[in-house]
Amino acid sequence: MHPHNTPTIALTGATGFLGSHLMAALLEKGYHVIALGRSTDDATLSQRIANILKWFGKEVPTGRLDTIEINFSQEALGLDRPKYKELCQASDQMIHCASDTSFSERRRQQVFDSNVHSLNHILKFAADARLQFFHYISTAYACGMNGTACKEQLPNTTDFVNVYEESKAQAEKNIATFCEENAIPHTIIRPTIVYGDSRTGRSLKFNALYYPIRSLMAIRDIYLNDIKNNGGKKSQMHGIKMDEDGYLFLPLKIVLPKSGGLNLIPIDYFVNAALQIIQNPGTGEIYHISNKTPVKLDEIVNYNEPFMKVKGVEIVYDDSPENYDRNPAEELFDRYIKAYLPYMHDNRVFDRTNTDRATSDLQPAAFNHDIFVRCMNYAVKMEWGEKLKRLGI
């Protein structure tokens, strides 16, 4: 550990998407970071962090980065008392970024164990360390489905799209109550859907925005393989064929109950906005790091057509999807994107009063065709994350 000659931030989730980018940015700004997490079967926490920093093009900084393997589910974070006391004394602030992002109802217990129940020991640490600030990285969707106007305040609904939203909402309430009772200054930072770097396309994770594109690409490749190696017998049965321009005609209707949009923000904007909030926080305030202009799915379909060389994909708005007979490609796509479908026609509008004040009205880059292509090219280059896994990330 190190004396308090520089601000020291204890960070959870440093091996995840948001947390890794926050870690790299904090180190770049001169903070001392204590990365709290676990090893895996393949690598220690220190090795995992070193691999991630290498991806960022950085060396492990001497004297400004510590890694401590902990267990959120255990008292004193699984540390012996001297080590725990040392951690408490060294930490000025904490950013709690680690979470289970599964949407699956089958994993309800695991999601709540990770996102809610483990908070007891983390918050106890915040009190024992007498932190100057506790920052919680939540999600804008913790506001739930109670209308379209989402205020920068604690959730007041029990209606959520999935267990992930529900768990984050409960976590926010628990954090606010505990911090107020124990006089711990705190913030809740709520990003919307985060994708890769808008300038370079680089990303460490390929879910959310990426998953429907990856799913469509997998379906495309099934039929391209059929045309190439089987004379297109299966494809012809469903009107799927190559046209004279070299595009695959793939009749695939994406049926949505209403018009809406994806509220997308790039990771570079998230980091810049979060750092400004952390550097000038308001006690007890909630911040929506969001996009004032959501992207219509129609736009993404248009961007994807020349990128993937596929025609025939179209958006249909109908609140009775059962009225449509689904071809095999559509049935497969429906299964792939079921968990993400509610976000494709979302009409929630996120108040940004606190965020605009704290970030001097900093706004994300407008999502466009060029950004889409940069992000998807990088995703394909990284084999949708498989190459990063082989690099130990």
Residue 267 domain flag: yes
Q: Determine the distance from the C-alpha atom of residue 278 to the mean position of all C-alpha atoms in its chain, rounded to a whole number.
A: 19
Judge if 38 and 123 occupy the same domain: yes
Q: Per-residue b/e over 168-177, b at no fewer than 16 CB within 10 Å?
A: bbbbbebbbe
Judge if 274 and 332 occupy the same domain: no
Judge if 110 and 20 occupy the same domain: yes
Give the model's confidence band at 11: pLDDT under 50 very low, under 70 low, under 90 confident, else very high: very high
**pLDDT tens for residues 375-385?**
999 999 999 99
Give the model's confidence band at 302: pLDDT under 50 very low, under 70 low, under 90 confident, else very high: very high
Judge if 138 and 249 occupy the same domain: no
Judge if 60 and 165 occupy the same domain: yes
Judge if 100 and 130 occupy the same domain: yes
Strand residue runs (E) in 23-70: 32-37, 65-69
Domain count, the chain: 2
**pLDDT tens for residues 158-181?**
999 999 999 999 999 999 999 999
Rounded distance between C-alpha atoms, residue 61 and residue 239, angstroms: 57
List alpha helices for 91-209, DSSP H: 108-112, 119-128, 163-181
Task: Report the pLDDT value the prediction gives residue 3, as an integer from 0 to 100.
Answer: 42
Judge if 125 and 267 occupy the same domain: yes
Task: Show the tokens assigned to 297.
Answer: 């799915």
Cross-strand partners of 311? 249
- Please name the amino acid found at residue 296: K
Judge if 182 and 272 occupy the same domain: yes
Judge if 237 and 269 occupy the same domain: no
Residue 1 domain flag: no
Residue 306 domain flag: yes
User: How many residues in total does the chain contain?
Assistant: 393
pTM (predicted TM-score): 0.96
pLDDT at 2 over 50: no
> Angle CA(220)–CA(221)–CA(226) in degrees, nearest 5?
105
Q: Could you list the residue range(s) of the whole structural domain that residue 151 is in? A: 8-198+263-292+347-365
Task: Show the tokens assigned to 375.
Answer: 């992000």
> DSSP state, 343?
G
Q: How far is CA 41 from CA 52, 55, 74, 387, in A?
A: 17, 21, 20, 18
Q: Are strands 241-242 and 248-256 parallel, antiparallel or unpaired?
A: antiparallel
Residue 117 domain flag: yes
Judge if 327 and 221 occupy the same domain: yes
Which CATH number do you get for residue 67? 3.40.50.720
Residue 2 domain flag: no
pLDDT at 251 over 80: yes
CA distance between the termini of the chain: 25
Residue 3 domain flag: no
CB-CB neighbours of 317 under 10 Å:
13
Judge if 257 and 302 occupy the same domain: yes
Which of helix, strand or coil describes residue 9? strand
Judge if 47 and 100 occupy the same domain: yes
Task: Show the tokens assigned to 155.
Answer: 């959730």
List alpha helices for 231-368, DSSP H: 233-237, 267-279, 297-308, 328-337, 353-358
Task: Show the tokens assigned to 159.
Answer: 């209606």
**pLDDT tens for residues 316-334?**
999 888 889 999 999 999 9
Q: What is the largest distance, in Å, between two alpha-carbon atoms of the chain? A: 72
Residue 91 domain flag: yes
Residue 382 domain flag: yes
- Please name the amino acid found at residue 119: L
Phi, psi (5° rounding) for residue 298? -55, -40
Rounded distance between C-alpha atoms, residue 288 and residue 154, angstroms: 12
